[in-house]
Amino acid sequence: DAGVTQSPTHLIKTRGQQVTLRCSPISGHKSVSWYQQVLGQGPQFIFQYYEKEERGRGNFPDRFSARQFPNYSSELNVNALLLGDSALYLCASSWEQGKLFFGSGTQLSVL
């Protein structure tokens, strides 16, 4: 079975640009969550979507947005990029409370 897939794996952007990250969950998983992992830190919760509805939002500015599609895949958008947005962005899908299956992440570098 395919795991959680994320694209692209690496991305380099400049300040002020916009970026879209994509995630395909494990087949049958209806919940998708996004996390930001800064080097040397634990992942920080950004969003959770379940059945195309936003179920939770972390302490991130409105520059961060996301959506989930009918096939349960998801996109994370970040506008007006800042240097501090440089991080590994992780997508996780799940069918059971707290039991997350993570993708390998998208490494975003903002120059």
Partner 1 sequence: GNSVTQMEGPVTLSEEAFLTINCTYTATGYPSLFWYVQYPGEGLQLLLKATKADDKGSNKGFEATYRKETTSFHLEKGSVQVSDSAVYFCALTPLSGGYQKVTFGIGTKLQVIP
CB distance 5 to 103 below 8 Å: yes
Q: Minimal CA–CA distance to 91: which of 51, 62, 48?
A: 48
When the beta carbons of 56 and 61 are compared against partner 1, the nearer one is 56
Whole-number minimum distance, CB 45 to partner 1, in Å? Answer: 5
Whole-number minimum distance, CB 18 to partner 1, in Å? Answer: 25
Residues near partner 1 (CB under 8 A) are 4, 31, 33, 35, 40-45, 48, 50, 55-56, 58, 90, 92, 94, 97-105
For 86, half-sphere exposure in the C-beta direction (CA atoms, 13 angstrom radius) is: 11
CB distance 24 to 73 below 8 Å: yes
When the beta carbons of 79 and 104 are compared against partner 1, the nearer one is 104
